[in-house]
Amino acid sequence: MVSNKMQSSLDDLVQYTQLFKPVATIFQGTVFPFLIIYPVVFYSWIFVYGFEENFEAGFVTVAVIAVIQILICLCCYWSVHIQCFLSCSAVKDPLQAEIVKVVPTSNNGFSEIVRLHHTKSTKRGSLNPDIWFMFQKSKYIYDWEKKIFHTIEFPTNKTYEEYMESKGFCDDEAIELAEKEFSKNDMVMVVPEFMELFKERATAPFFVFQVFCVALWCLDKYWYYSIFTLVMLVMFECTLVQQQLRNMAEIRKMGNKPYNINVYRNRRWRQIMSDQLLPGDIVSLTRSANDNLVPCDIALLRGSCIVDESMLTGESVPQMKEAIENEKNHSQTLDPEGAGKLHTLFGGTKIVQHSSPSKNVSSGLKAPDNGCIGYVIRNGFNTSQGKLLRTILFGVKRVTANNLETFGFILFLLIFAIAAAAYVWIKGCEDPERNRYKLFLECTLILTSVVPPELPIELSLAVNTSLLSLSKLAVFCTEPFRIPFAGKVEICCFDKTGTLTSDNLVVEGVAGIGDHKDATVIPLSEAPIETIQVLASCHSLVQLEDGLVGDPLEKATLKAAEWNLTKGDAVVPKKGKSPGLKIVHRNHFASALKRMSVIAGYQVNERGFLENHYISSVKGAPETIKTMLKEVPSHYDHVYLTLSRRGARVLALGYRNLGKLSSQELRELAREDIESDLTFVGFVIISCPLKSDSKKAIAEIVNASHAVAMITGDNPLTACHVAKELKFTQKVEMLILTEENGIWGWKSIDETFNMPLQPFKTSKGLTSKFDLCITGEGLSFLNEYHNKFLIDLMPHIKVYARFAPKQKEFVILTLKSLGYVTLMCGDGTNDVGALKHADVGVAILANAPERPRERVREERSQEVEPRRPPANRAEARQATRDDTTARLRHVIRQMEEEEHLQLVRLGDASVAAPFTSRLSSILCICHIIKQGRCTLVTTLQMFKILALNALILAYSQSVLYIDGIKFSDTQATLQSLLLASCFLFISRSKPLKHLSKQRPLPNIFNVYTIITVLTQFMVHFLCLIYLVHEATIRSPGRDPKPKLDMDLADDEERQFSPDLLNSTVYIISMALQISTFAINYRGEPFMEGLRDNKPLLYSIVVSGGVVLALAAGIFPDLSNMFEIVYFPPDYRLVLVQVLIADMVFAYLVDRLCLWLFGESRH
């Protein structure tokens, strides 16, 4: 039997699965209990308590139960887990199960309930059926032996021999079986219907909450305005759905378009459509015509290709792909993501050039179109391109801030709302005449107005504003929920080559040859011919129609050597008598081997005959080449170490004359033979100048209290030099972890200073005095033997040098596990793992411009529509929400204008990272952190302001409402207008030009936020109570039991007569709202201060002036307009003093809380 719940993660995508069988509708948790509850309630209402006598109570009870049932049904819709609990029964046997609950790993989409399929087994002789399900376009099949589900196993890890011997599918039965197992090479994305998407949005918890509020307002006789609100909400959601549909249609275009391709099936070549391909097919590939892309992931068996992979990795340098048949060792297995990358063509990439397989090989297939022969290893959504599309389709969470914190915040506010509602209920019940139904309605209205319905809108606005700003700065983001993380970043890690240093390499010359025993660099024009031959032949460059393509470093060396490459892989000197060289065989550069080698041939005229002579030329890291030399010069180490310390890139060159060889002998030469007994012909010195913005950006990041580290595959000495130049290192001495005679220890860069591995009792002694650098080998050693010491050092190491891609990933994962929020910035190819795992991964596309092209933009002036004053209290309450909606419409319009910018296209986003910069400058890191901080702080201050407003509202709607204090409709309108305009200007605040030294608080729930909200509320509360008390003393003739709104008969009009108490409370509630905005606007050091945010400043100053003028009674006409009564002079003085005191004390307590618990203490 299958274990009901498999806790261990199945793969990168699925956390666990659970099997279920649906229950009959009548027995489901959403129906069965209510079949008992409703009859009981109706029986009690009609026969026990009496229908007429308790009409209101009965009606309220039934309404509450109906709302609970609707809520439970919605919970099933919102949560897969609740749905399984209430409407399914768990089963152990996969044969009985009909559905399966699939829970994905974090940030990989949402849990789903999917159908379980039972089909005839595709394995011969298997008695058990195939049990499988589809989740996020991936097929998971049940393994009867291991009792778990797993993804289909594609033929990606066979030996080279198995691939070479494959003859494709031999009969229709095999094709049919493969089609059942793997399904076709479809990449069809179904764009859902409008109604389907709208239903999903309309059932979102907050939307339901807003509809519920509208329904309540309708019951309160304010139906006209409520319907208007509902229409606005629905229109807003429709606009979002339209946008989503457009985005999906755009993503749909990213899939490959099918075209005719030659495939070897049933022992002959035939043409089929590329979407019919199956893993195991043998296909013929030619240069991509009409923009036809490689249809799926294919292992290259024969022939060679040059492929443009920029749409997958963002790497603009075309890659060489070699055939498996050229490999010497055919017993090794293919690893498409590792060393086998050289033999793998990835789906979605473009073949720029192909070389047909050599004619002389009798074995192996030959295609009718003379293309390269390949073996399909993965198809459909399981290819590299498919995985990227799946990330874009499913991996992206909705644009929201931290949902758990938002929920906690609402619960915090709800406590006060419930207290206020309870007060109204208890006080209201003291009068036996009072209508209970209207009282209950009033209490629910208090609950709904305390939790602000505009909260989700406010939160997503902050993130959306950042998304737009980043896209204008040429930074694209596939996972918007990561933007607030950028505000919390603690450690920033950078790759060196291509990220900090530019790709415009300068070849300075060669060193270490002839009489030059010191580190003198001589120009290439003076170098011996052997050195030049190695430089001219040992590379992976290719000549295409549109010029030379390949690694910028190799382009620079070939150009400096003054040789040309022809289309037939031959290199000839531009001038001079040296014979041209034909490249016969390449052993490509591998980061694990740190070297590359080439066999090249040249023709020599011997007694009138042209003879072919061969040489092997090798280049690589100096420490690797050292072991391959016939004899190592005495000055070898001294020269390369001295030059590395200067920050130059040093490659050692080796040469060996192989003499005459037959083609058979050539084929049998192993890589080890080519790369041994070499003659040393010098070091080539290449300097990588820093990018123009690197210094400025790093200085800003370090100044902003972020730790910085460099993770590179380059030499430790070169890396340390760059780190010193960019001021990664602040201390006097930098130590490198090195091994001598089997003993590991710390050594200074100039080797004048040595220390044992653990020189102090604690690691702190070491990290406080020195900057540290470790190599990949050092990491492996420490990880194995001194793990705790390594973990203590990790956050303080400044340079990680000679690191393989997997080790880069290890660094990021370790830092994350230690609780640091990490940012990784690299150039999309070898940094993929690290970029994916970092909290904020930023891929900088290689060979992109450093600065954007200037764009001229016309700004449209916004016309403000005149408003109609609302007719009653609900309208006033509503004006704020309308303003929010109007603001959202504006943002949506803006997003539509920017749509070509905001939507991430393939090639814009590299597979590598959630953030991709289209510019090659690392200034984008500063932009991302600025926007992250701005979003974080905006959300935080929104929460503070909404919380304070909600608390003040709870008090005024309960205690003051029962005392008969109310506002006129004009007053309420003016107040809500003020509130809406302040909110509008707050969410538009922009980040400052420079990052501040302080970092913002990372969470909503922190001591500072909670204490400042409560203490400010206490200050406002005391002032309010004091003024109400003062005004009551001065209003002797006031009715102690005023008639409330809810006591009015249905046909009675609401009367408003201004008195001292009403006017006082109105003035102070206006003043409280203004001071809330003025005091809690965070501003500097994270975003524009109040002085720079002019619209907000003006709205606060003007409203503040109006309130003071009303309190002081300066303009009688203004007081009449606001329906404010005349204040006696002594009371006027008290009122103005209290208002000023309230503002001052609220400001002081907030600043005191900030000083005690704010960012500086964090």
Active site residue 677: no
Q: Where are the alpha helices (DSSP H) in 430-504?
A: 436-450, 455-472, 483-486
Tokens of 1111: 């309190």
CB 22 within 8 A of CB 16: no
Beta-carbon contacts of 1029 under 8 Å, excluding residues fewer than 6 positions away, are: none
Q: What residues are paired with 743 via a beta bridge?
A: 740
Classify strands 822-826 and 840-844 as parallel, antiparallel or unpaired: parallel
Could you tell me the CA-to-CA distances from 325 to 299, 613, 773 in Å, in that order?
11, 24, 41
Q: C-alpha dihedral over 356, 359, 362, 363, to 10 degrees?
A: -10
792 φ/ψ angles, rounded to the nearest 5 degrees: -65, -35
Distance between CA atoms of 940 and 795, rounded to whole angstroms?
28
| DSSP collapsed to 3 states, 656-684 | EEEECCCHHHHHHCCHHHHCCCEEEEEEE
Map residue 598 onto helix, strand or coil.
strand
Q: Where are the alpha helices (DSSP H) in 253-383?
A: 310-313
440 DSSP 8-state letter: H
Distance between CA atoms of 1103 and 975, rounded to whole angstroms?
10
Distance between CA atoms of 1052 and 58, rounded to whole angstroms?
25
Distance between CA atoms of 600 and 580, rounded to whole angstroms?
10
Q: Position of tokens 């998304």?
A: 467
CB 121 within 8 A of CB 130: yes
Q: C-alpha dihedral over 1097, 1101, 1103, 1109, to 10 degrees?
A: 180
| 1085: preceding bond cis by omega (within 30 degrees) | yes
CB 510 within 8 A of CB 528: no
CB 145 within 8 A of CB 156: no
Q: Position of tokens 């022992």?
A: 267
Tokens of 300: 């290259």
Q: Where are the alpha helices (DSSP H) in 709-804?
A: 716-725, 763-769, 776-785, 787-793
Distance between CA atoms of 1107 and 1113, rounded to whole angstroms?
10
Distance between CA atoms of 1072 and 1045, rounded to whole angstroms?
25
Catalytic member of 220, 495, 714, 827 = 495
Distance between CA atoms of 385 and 911, rounded to whole angstroms?
8
CB 1082 within 8 A of CB 940: yes
Nearest residue to 964 via CA among 1053, 874, 1054, 870: 1054
Q: How far apart are the first and last CA of the chain?
A: 52
With DSSP H G I counted as helix, E B as strand and the rest as coil, what are the percentages for the chain, rounded to 5? 45, 20, 35
Q: What residues are paired with 679 via a beta bridge?
A: 655
Q: C-alpha dihedral over 8, 14, 19, 20, to 10 degrees?
A: 140
Classify strands 138-143 and 148-151 as parallel, antiparallel or unpaired: antiparallel
Report the amino acid identity of residue 364: G
Burial 534-551 (b: 16+ CB within 10 A, else e): bbbbbbbbbbeeeeebbb
Classify strands 297-302 and 475-477 as parallel, antiparallel or unpaired: unpaired
What are the residue numbers of the active site?
A: 495
